[in-house]
Structures are given as C-alpha cells and as structure tokens.
Amino acid sequence: MITLERDYERALGVRPSVSAVIFDRRGRLLLQQRSDGGQWGLPGGSVEIGESVANAVCREVREETGLVVSVRRLVGVYSEPALQVVRYPDGNVWHYVNVCFECAARGGGLQTCDETLALDYFSPRRLPGALLSNHRVRIRDACARRVAPFVR
C-alpha cells in the first residue's frame, strides 16, 4: 500500500510528476487501480529527462490506460510535503512535485499494463474508498472547474 510519509527527511529525492483527470461524456472520472499498492488513483507518473510536462502526461496516460489524450487545462501544481511525500510498499520514499492536467480522450481504447490492475470510470460523488489521498485533493480541485490553477 502507498502511504503518505510524515517524515519528509526520509525522502530519497524530489521527482517531477504529472497526473491526468479525464472525464467521460457522462461526467465520470477515469481511475486506475495501481499494481504497486492496489489503490486507485489518477493515471500519471514521472517526467523523463528532456520531456515537457504536457508530453509526459500524454505519454503516461497512453502507457497506463491505452488512451490518446490532449491537454485541456492545468488543474494545479502540488508540492506540499504533507500531501506529496509518499512511501511505497518497497520502503522507498519520494517527494513528488505534481502537475495535474485535465485531459480529453482523443483516441485509443482502455487497456491495462504492468502498472495497471484495472481501469474504471467513477462518479466524482462515489469514488472508491481505496483512493490515494493526495489524488482525492486533485480530483476535488478539478471538479471545482476554477479557471485559475490551484497551487498546493
């Protein structure tokens, strides 16, 4: 299980990351059940060297869900240690600086991979209980539909 780490000094380093909020035509949100902890969360991952955050979110969504997406808007930037320092089941701790985008599906089809146990759409009012807590904040911010991005 992936958990928040209260002792940020245990972090091995800071990692730039991206996440995607993808709504279907019925207003449901696409979530990924992750293989590294079994919890549900937004598709996303680390930004690679030489890659923009916009390209990273499109790549990560394609790898983890099979969907081809385009970026619609910036939801927010998340770096607060209380929300962004996480411990993985293997004991590694990382401090993520996450850039969260709302994306639109443009093609492809849902398919799982090694990082994804399951994919499903959920009503924002009925999210799974085993949802990563830091992703819950991003989802709430995305549903606020605020023009200006959040900085947390």
- Sorted by where each begins, the domain ranges of the chain are 3-151
Residue 5 has a pLDDT of 94
Residue 37 has a pLDDT of 85
Three-state DSSP class for 128?
A: coil
Q: Name the superfamily (CATH) of residues 3-151.
A: Nucleoside Triphosphate Pyrophosphohydrolase (3.90.79.10)
This model's pTM is above 0.85: yes
Residue 59 has a pLDDT of 98
Under 8 Å between Cβ of 67 and 61: yes
Position 145 confidence tier, pLDDT thresholds 50, 70, 90: very high
On average, the pLDDT of the chain sits at: 96
Three-state DSSP class for 138?
A: helix
Radius of gyration of the chain (CA): 14
Q: Which residues contact 59 (CB under 8 A, 6 or more apart)?
A: 48, 51
Three-state DSSP class for 14?
A: strand
